[in-house]
Amino acid sequence: MAVSSSLLVLVLCALAGGVRAADDPMSASFVFGDSLVDAGNNNFLPTLSKANIKPNGIDFKVSGGKPTGRYTNGRTIADIVGEMLGQKGYAQPFLDPNTTGSVVLQGVNYASGGGGIMNSTGRIFVNRLGLDIQIDYFNITRQQIDGLLGKAKADEFISKKAIFSITIGSNDFLNNYLLPVVSTGERISETPEGFVDTLVSTFKGQLNRLYTLGARKFVVGNVGPIGCIPYQKTINQLEATECVGLPDQLAVRYNGMLRNLLTGLNKDLPGAKFVYANVYDLVMELISNYKKHGFTTASAACCGNGGQLAGIVPCGPSSSLCDDRGKYVFWDPYHPSEASNLIIAKQLVDGEQKYISPVNLRQLRDI
């Protein structure tokens, strides 16, 4: 049977990589952020913020239920998104000595528990990787990719076949501005509005720096309802249905400015596509309507709810553990359970503009 010349051209172009098939997998994921997406970088740091202890990772099948440094019982949102978009393997922690050579071509995870946009954020943990350092580390990876592929092919790979995800900002409030005891730092020198302005301005510079290093496809998560997490409820002795006002007010202000920032960057940076992930509304939906989503509680954490340290140490061997981890919105006083991460990830990959805009992540991948 004869094949039309136009169809033959399309087939040849697709084979050569000129046309992207709808089910073509994502080549690489470069993950930046905090403990919500840390895949084990803090394992290699002398820090008080670690998750490489049981029962963290109890449902992470790849490790056989052993802790990997992920701050949840199973996969992070970044892990699940990568799976759904067809990535060959998880983005490996940058600080892992085995993250070298061709491994970096499937992506690298730079996220660090306790890290933030501001370099001062998370200092109570002694060591962590702030976003500036994470971008420094990507610059090293960028040079490695240049060496593996050559400069021209590396430029194309990074700009067209890689997604850069940034999940950060919560620690800038929880473990910086909102710390109950501060002798120095932003809270005594800046108003809440001034601090958020500084945060957004700093973040803009960091996103611009990633752009200059070749990144073009970005997904940026906003800050979730941090006044409603079990940790805040515990230390403020609130009822299950209550949330702490100031943290949420700061998050809402920041999120509005972040949305405007990304809209502006889409206009100002040629070839860039910045996607806004509305994590705040996604998590609030789970908290407000937890029964609809199959959960039994959104106020208590499965692991380490409250206790002597009120959740400052998120989850460890001496923590109490719930019977059915799939029924809890929160794994520990700070972090969502894998069951929640799965719901959130599905909305980010294939959801509507209420939660992910101007395109969802499957559409971003295929651009």
pLDDT of residue 315: 87
SS3 state of residue 172: helix
Residue-range definition of the domain harbouring residue 159: 24-366
pLDDT of residue 288: 96
Is 182 a residue whose pLDDT tops 70? no
Answer yes or no: 29 catalytic: no
Q: What is the pLDDT of residues 286-320, one digit of tens each?
A: 999 999 999 999 998 999 754 444 445 568 998 88
* Helical H segments across 213-244, by residue range: 230-235
260: its two tokens: 């405007």
pLDDT of residue 231: 87
Summarize the confidence of residues 328-357 as an average pLDDT.
Answer: 97
The residue whose two tokens read 């794994």 is: 331
pLDDT of residue 313: 54
* Rounded Cα–Cα distance for residues 345 and 94 (Å): 23
pLDDT of residue 181: 59
* Rounded Cα–Cα distance for residues 36 and 78 (Å): 9
Q: One of 112, 332, 337, 340 is an active-site residue; which one? A: 332
Q: Is residue 50 in some structural domain? A: yes
> Which residues are 328's β-sheet partners?
297
Q: One of 35, 112, 299, 337 is an active-site residue; which one? A: 35
The CATH number covering residue 223 comes to: 3.40.50.1110
Instruction: Give the least confident one: 1-10, 47-56, 95-104.
Output: 1-10
Candidates 131, 29, 130, 21; CA nearest to 82 is 29
Q: What is the pLDDT of residues 155-180, one digit of tens each?
A: 999 999 999 999 999 999 999 999 87
Query: Could you give the strand order of the β-sheet that contains 217-221, starting from the edge strand earlier in sequence?
Result: 92-93, 107-109, 28-33, 162-167, 217-221, 273-277, 356-357
Reported as a pLDDT band with limits 50, 70 and 90, residue 14 is very low
Candidates 164, 144, 263; CA nearest to 212 is 164
Q: Is residue 12 in some structural domain? A: no
Q: Is residue 66 in some structural domain? A: yes
pLDDT of residue 109: 98
> Which residues are 336's β-sheet partners?
330
* Rounded Cα–Cα distance for residues 215 and 168 (Å): 17
pLDDT of residue 314: 63
pLDDT of residue 187: 63
DSSP line for 323-353: S-GGGEEESSSSSB-HHHHHHHHHHHHH--T
Q: Is residue 16 in some structural domain? A: no
Mean pLDDT, the chain, whole residue set: 90
Is 62 a residue whose pLDDT tops 50? yes
Is 145 a residue whose pLDDT tops 50? yes
Q: What is the pLDDT of residues 28-52, one digit of tens each?
A: 999 999 999 999 999 999 999 999 9
Instruction: Give the least confident one: 13-22, 59-68, 214-223, 251-260.
Output: 13-22
Exposed, middle or buried, 337 (CB in 10 Å: 0-12/13-18/19+)? buried
Answer yes or no: 136 catalytic: no
pLDDT of residue 227: 95
Candidates 253, 236, 92; CA nearest to 172 is 253
Number of domains the chain is built from: 1
* Rounded Cα–Cα distance for residues 199 and 296 (Å): 36
DSSP line for 2-53: ---HHHHHHHHHHHHTSS--TTPPP-EEEEEESTTT--SGGGGS--S----S
Neighbours of 160 (CB within 10 A): 14
Phi-psi region of 185 (alpha: psi -120 to 50; beta: other; left: phi over 0): left
Candidates 45, 65, 71; CA nearest to 314 is 71
Q: Is residue 279 in some structural domain? A: yes
- The whole model's pTM is what? 0.91
pLDDT of residue 245: 94
Q: One of 112, 335, 337, 340 is an active-site residue; which one? A: 335
The residue whose two tokens read 């995800």 is: 165
Candidates 132, 219, 236; CA nearest to 174 is 236
**% of the chain beyond a pLDDT of 70:** 89
Summarize the confidence of residues 200-226 as an average pLDDT.
Answer: 98
Neighbours of 200 (CB within 10 A): 18
Q: Which residue has the higher pLDDT, 18 or 100?
A: 100
- 111 CA to centre of own chain: 8
Cβ–Cβ under 8 Å, residues 170 and 179: no
Q: Is residue 13 in some structural domain? A: no
Is 250 a residue whose pLDDT tops 60? yes
Pairing of strands 273-277, 356-357: antiparallel
Q: Is residue 326 in some structural domain? A: yes
Answer yes or no: 335 catalytic: yes
Is 1 a residue whose pLDDT tops 90? no
**% of the chain beyond a pLDDT of 90:** 81
